[in-house]
Structure 1
Amino acid sequence: MANLDIPTVDFSPFFTGSDEDGKKNAVGIIKEACSNYGFFQIFNHGIPRDLINRALKFSGTFFALPDEEKLKYIPGLGAPIPAGYNKQPEHSADKNEYLLMFPPQSTFNVLPSNPPEFREVLEELFTYFARTGELIERILNDCLGLPPNFLKEFNNDRSWDFMVALRYFPATGTENNGLSEHEDGNCVTFVIQDEVGGLEVRKDGEWIPVIPAEGSVFVNIGDVIQVLTNNKFKSATHRVVRSTERSRHSFAFFYNLQGDKWVEPLPQFSEEIGEAPKYRGFLYKDYQALRMRNKTHPPSKPEDVIHITHYAIST
């Protein structure tokens, strides 16, 4: 059962085609969740439960392999971000290892052949996540009252989407961060996690645990949507707290934006309604480069970490 503090949405009306009241109810929940929380949880989303379970199982098998086997799948060259197997350096505040992939047809992918069927499952899961992203994008378009297909046409390059299989190591001593608190820099993120849990989201200064629920997918809004809507929709602050007993396995899918895209508040949420833009415009790839530098060259002071506030206009 999902945590009652997390807005929960039944997506089945979007697959039946005839339940207009169900669709309207779901859109209403999502609109309120994005305005006040920046996150929600979905059920009956069309991603087969068996596929989710197999993906988590194979991921656990892969990350349990010896390092010399996993290192066969280190990133190739040329990708916008390193696709393949990666492990956070020992000095990193985040204690995890991960396998990153772009769309199945991408030449950047370095995917494992061990365990057998893992690559096939990864590609299938990616395809389902991408379809879910397109559906969420249409729903957000309706929530915002934008012209039909506006967001789809604005964000029409799916080659920058990526998915990550993650393993968070058990906590040791006082260090329990699996992933430090942050907001995602993309459009929308989808997360599935195993029964270990650990994902938490912040609302009104309080951390809310996202309790693992069979068949659920957690959804959070990212910085791009926050900027486009001029803060009408929130980019969710979240983190992962590691278990002291077991590794945590999860998948995150990042519904992304093409790097050369110019991002700024849409006129529908600024000058057309008499509101000043809250952000100056920027190239998406420039913002991603700044975020990547946060990881490769961590600032000595937390306040120097780059967030979307880097582009905020002072009032």
Structure 2
Amino acid sequence: TSSSQLISSYPPLLRAPQTPISDHRLTEEDDDSESHPLPVIDFQRTTSQEIGKACREWGMFRLINHQVPEDLHRQLHRVAAEIFNLSFEEKDGFPTTPVLYFWGSPAISMAGNANKTEPPFKNKLKLLEGFDVPLRGIARFHYQDPMLESFRCLLDEYGAHQTRLAESIFKAMAEDLNIPETKSSSYLSPATATLRVYRYLRRQTAGEKLGIPAHTDSSVISILHQDQVGGLQVSRNDKWFDVEPVEDTLIVNLGDMMQGISNDEYVSVKHRVKLNEENERISIGYFVFPAEHAVIESSNYRPFTFSEFHDSKESELKKLGFKIGL
């Protein structure tokens, strides 16, 4: 892909010159991250106690021997790269079901606010674009376009693998936390599962260093596959650590819902993504939530449903541009 073709694939408002985003710059102190090996969980040999230890200490771990075919990862990343390299106008003209294109913000409700000039969002655009893919019903949909149809089929297959992993991991967590099955069965609902395929653009100015600023996920469990560009960082004990890409591994992290379910025994881990000056970065995230009306009960929180939490989060995003969380 030539440089001019690449630039034409970027959303127009994300092309250089880009106004630096002052409130999300990294300070020199923040930028002093270090590498630290995450806990490694062997999916074929792990115990609920081992998973529980990683969830308490880090809220994130690296999964090996997960039985997701590496060839599937390669195909999915290849087709995603081909689609991202299409012109912005083509991507923006795609049907919005079942694969929704977004840009400028990881929050779907805010994506597209790029076209508005009023604060606070105009100067808080992130150098990213992506596809939001609710997995429910994706198997029943078919595209006429061969590239989009190939993308849909790969996403459908990949989502089935991720749901298999999420259910097994959550079962081990519930066992470690002594959550009865009568409750845990509604705390993780595969019907809510969503894939997000992100492309982080190249860093274009001295000021803009973050593709996504520090945040926690709202999910029960998130499962990430990243390419070899790197940039993911996780916070632990007020320090930032690089999560290095390692081939044929997945990164599992806990979200706000899992912290609530565990009564704060487990950590909804704060993480962020640094931009790369030379390369775009593609990552594929799987996010799964409780059933919409499942009541989450733990002594540290008043009883609440995911639906209530989601509505509160959306309200915070609209008013503040970020979520407050639990």
Same fold per superposition (TM over 0.5): yes
Q: What TM-score do the two structures reach when normalised by structure 1?
A: 0.79
Q: CA deviation at 1:297?
A: 4.5
Question: Structure 1 residues 278 and 243, CA, compared in 2 at 3 Å: closer, same or farther?
Answer: same
Q: Which moved more, 1:123-132 or 1:98-107?
A: 98-107
Structure 1 CA distance for aligned equivalents of residues 125 and 147 of structure 2: 29
Match of 1:86 among 95, 102, 105: 102
Task: Describe how 1:173-184 pairs up with structure 2 within 5 A.
Answer: 173=205, 174-184=207-217
Structure 2 CA distance for aligned equivalents of residues 296 and 56 of structure 1: 32
Match of 1:272 in 2: none
Task: Describe how 1:116-135 pairs up with structure 2 within 5 A.
Answer: 117-135=150-168
Q: CA deviation at 1:109?
A: 7.2
User: 3-state SS of the aligned residue for 1:99?
Assistant: strand
Instruction: Name structure 2 gaps, 5 residues minimum.
Output: 1-34, 105-113, 115-121
Task: Describe how 1:4-15 pairs up with structure 2 within 5 A.
Answer: 4-13=36-45
Residues 193 and 289 of structure 2 are in contact (CA less than 8 Å); yes or no, is this contact kept in structure 1? yes
Which string of whole-angstrom CA distances, capped at 9 and with x for unpartnered residues, describes residues 172-229 of structure 1? 2211111111111110000011011111110000111110000110000111111121
1:289 aligns with 2:305: no
RMSD of aligned C-alpha atoms?
Answer: 2.4
Q: What TM-score do the two structures reach when normalised by structure 2?
A: 0.77
Match of 2:32 in 1: none
Higher relative contact order (CA 8 A, sep 6+): 2
Q: CA deviation at 1:53?
A: 1.3
Equivalenced residues, count: 274
Amino acid at match of 1:284: F
User: 3-state SS of the aligned residue for 1:32?
Assistant: helix
Instruction: Name structure 1 gaps, 5 residues minimum.
Output: 14-22, 77-81, 266-276, 300-304, 310-315
The percentage of aligned residue pairs carrying the same residue is 24
Structure 2 CA distance for aligned equivalents of residues 166 and 292 of structure 1: 21
Match of 1:244 in 2: 277
Match of 1:103 in 2: 135
Structure 1 CA distance for aligned equivalents of residues 289 and 142 of structure 2: 20
Q: CA deviation at 1:139?
A: 1.2
User: 3-state SS of the aligned residue for 1:160?
Assistant: strand
1:32 aligns with 2:53: yes
Structure 2 CA distance for aligned equivalents of residues 178 and 185 of structure 1: 18
Structure 1 CA distance for aligned equivalents of residues 66 and 271 of structure 2: 22
Structure 2 CA distance for aligned equivalents of residues 108 and 120 of structure 1: 10
Match of 2:78 among 44, 49, 57: 57
Structure 2 CA distance for aligned equivalents of residues 109 and 205 of structure 1: 45
Amino acid at match of 1:220: N
Structure 2 CA distance for aligned equivalents of residues 220 and 110 of structure 1: 32
Question: Structure 1 residues 117 and 306, CA, compared in 2 at 3 Å: closer, same or farther?
Answer: closer
Match of 2:190 in 1: 158
Question: Structure 1 residues 231 and 139, CA, compared in 2 at 3 Å: closer, same or farther?
Answer: same
Residues 161 and 254 of structure 1 are in contact (CA less than 8 Å); yes or no, is this contact kept in structure 2? yes
Q: CA deviation at 1:161?
A: 1.0
Question: Structure 1 residues 69 and 241, CA, compared in 2 at 3 Å: closer, same or farther?
Answer: same
Match of 2:324 in 1: 307
Task: Describe how 1:207-246 pairs up with structure 2 within 5 A.
Answer: 207-246=240-279
Question: Structure 1 residues 116 and 157, CA, compared in 2 at 3 Å: closer, same or farther?
Answer: closer
Amino acid at match of 2:251: F
Q: CA deviation at 1:283?
A: 2.5
